[in-house]
Every structure is written in C-alpha cells, then in structure tokens.
Amino acid sequence: MHTKTFLSSLAITLFPAAAAAQTAPPVVPVLDGATRAQVLAILSSPAGSVNYRDAFAKIGDSITESGSFLKDVGCMRPPDPAFYGAYAGLVATVSYFQSRTYGAGYTDAWCGVPDSFTRASVASMSGMTSTFAFSSTSVCPSPFTTVLRCEYYRMRPSYALIMFGTNDVMANVNATLVDALARYRANMQNIVAQSITDGVVPVLSTIPPLLRTSEVTQAMVDRVASYNQVVIDVAAANSVPLWNYNRSLVELGAGDNYGVSSDGIHPSIYRGSDGANFTAAALHYGYNVRNLGAIQVLDALRAVAGGSAPPPPPPPPSTSSSRRATRATAATSPSATSAGSEKDSAGQLCYGPR
C-alpha cells in the first residue's frame, strides 16, 4: 500500500516548478529521420544481424531490477486484453517479445517463465550509478566481462531499455553540478557506444522525479532536470531512441505524487503489486506508467524493424549464482553507494545512499 496523503502536500510545495519545466520531448520516441536510419543501421550491422529481433535487455538500477518492472507483463501468458484497457492493441507486441524464451536460470520471476520481460538482468542492480554498466563480472567469458557486455552476450537482444541516473543524482550531490554531469555524460555516452558496437539499439530513458523526504534533499530534487537534459542530449547526439519517462510522470501531476511512492525515490504501483494493469485506474501509478511506456517503445521499434532470429543461446548457470557473482563484484565498485538497505515500493531490496 502507498501513503499518498503526506506526499501530495509535500509535492505541491516542493516540486511543481521543476516538474513543469521539463516535459518535451514526447514520452514515446518518434522513430523517423536520423533515428530510424540509426536503428536500422545498428540492426543490420554485423553484430546486430545475429541478435534476436524478439528480445530486449534491461539495464539500470533498482527501478529496473525491481520485480515491478515488466515481470508481471511477462508472466501474464497469454496477455489478457482486459488488463490493457485502451491499449489492447499492444497485446500483439507483448506476445511477440514473450515468444523468445531462455533457460530457467534466466529469471527469478514468480511465474518461472524466462523471457525478456521476466529476465533477472546481471546489468540491473539496486543502488547502482551509471558506472555500474562497466563493472566487471565473472559470469561471462572474455571479452564480455563487464555487466553490460555480459548481459548482451547472454540475451543477444536487438534492443536495450537503459535508465541510470537516480543514484548518480543522490550519490554525487555534493560534487559540483558541472563535474557530476560531466561524469554522467561520459558514462552514458560509453554505454551508448558499447551498445552500438554490440549491435544493440540503446533506448535511453529519462529518470523519474525525486520528491523531498528525509532521505531526499532539495538539492537532489533540483538536479534531476539537469541529469535528464544530459540523457536527452546524448540520445540526440547519437540519433538513438529517447524514452521520456520523466514526462509521463510529470503529467500525472501532484495529485498522484508524480507517480512516485512514499520513499520519494521509487515509482508507485497499482494495488501494491499489480504492474501489468493498464486500465485508467492503474495509470495513476509510476510503475504501471513505466511498464506501459516500455511496451509502447518496443511496439515502435518492432514496427520499424520486425524480424526473426537465429538459434537460442547456450543454457546459463543459475540466476542466483550469476547474480551473486555480479553483486559481489559490484559491491567493490565505486558505483556501489549504499551504507544500508531498504525495500522499495514493490518490496524489492534496494541499496541506496544514506
């Protein structure tokens, strides 16, 4: 359950000016012109031509690692149009990406069915900043020994949904904004460059609003727009798709706490756990909005690319052992910023700055 009364008044007094200032570009990218050409060029490159058109990777921090992000979508088999409301036309795209399944060790989802939606990504971990993508891992063979390259090696996806930045904001709030943004920009550019090299279309997502709480300072709240501008700029400079998740939450407004839960950091979720519901009532909650946006992005990419795929990858070691190896490595990385742990709005273990 989510406590909304407290944060409603908090958001009204502390957040609307920053929220209203950052809405453009559109939530779902328009894949035309240079962006369309770049998508097709990546997919037709030697690396991209052997990746699965019906697979995508999830790259990010706790908001991506959370079981509330897309896992319920993957577990609803077949997708029930009744839960999609006005968006029932997206069911075909969900079924398309559900069709590519992997070995059992690829998921920790409650349904046990391993696909791109339910994947327990080695490149998504709570508390991580954008430096995490290049943390080392022993899960994959050389040269795929960073978590980013390892995830691409394991999944062979054509697309990657990428969102880092919330922990960058919080961990680096005492650095000058110029220095903090320069590091963030370099990391995001490196992620984009590596993705393109590996034949994966990187979809960059803006980060959600932060709300002022005992854990979130006003300085953190104020910096979100600057980090999102970096995401927008890096996407434009590389002609890759931009998913403006921040805008979709801003447009919810203060009455819905901008889709943010009571911790001021993580998205809220309909009825506490119902992430695969896209009815009107459910789309007042941040994870439901994010899950819908992800499907809309995948739908747009599918419309441009379509395609089929080569044979399945080799079976992996168990998810638990893979993620333990990655988590142990990441714990020594500069991107591991926590001094404690907490549960996010969906009950996911979340390590973050204190």
Place of tokens 């695969």: 276
Contact residues for 303 (Cβ-Cβ < 8 A; gap 6+): 31
Rounded to an integer, what distance in angstroms lies between the CA atom of residue 42 and that of residue 201?
A: 6
Q: How far is CA 171 from the centre of its chain?
A: 19
First to last CA, the chain: 24
Q: Among candidates 232, 243, 159, which has minimal Cα distance to 201?
A: 159
Q: Pinpoint the alpha helices (H) of 156-305.
A: 166-171, 177-197, 218-238, 245-250, 286-305
Torsion from C-alpha of 245, 64, 177, 27, nearest 10 degrees: -10
For residues 310 and 52, the answer to whether their CB atoms sit within 8 Å is: yes
Per-residue confidence in pLDDT tens, the chain, 354 aa: 333 332 333 333 344 445 445 668 999 999 999 999 999 999 999 999 999 999 999 999 999 999 999 999 999 999 999 999 999 999 999 999 999 999 989 999 999 999 999 999 999 999 999 999 999 999 999 999 999 999 999 999 999 999 999 999 999 999 999 999 999 999 999 999 999 999 999 999 999 999 999 999 999 999 999 999 999 999 999 999 999 999 999 999 999 999 999 999 999 999 999 999 999 999 999 999 999 999 999 999 999 997 544 444 444 444 444 554 554 445 444 333 332 223 333 333 232 221
For residues 169 and 209, the answer to whether their CB atoms sit within 8 Å is: no
For residues 211 and 260, the answer to whether their CB atoms sit within 8 Å is: yes
Contact residues for 232 (Cβ-Cβ < 8 A; gap 6+): 25, 206, 242, 244
User: The pTM is what?
Assistant: 0.84
Domains of the chain: 5-350 (3.40.50.1110)
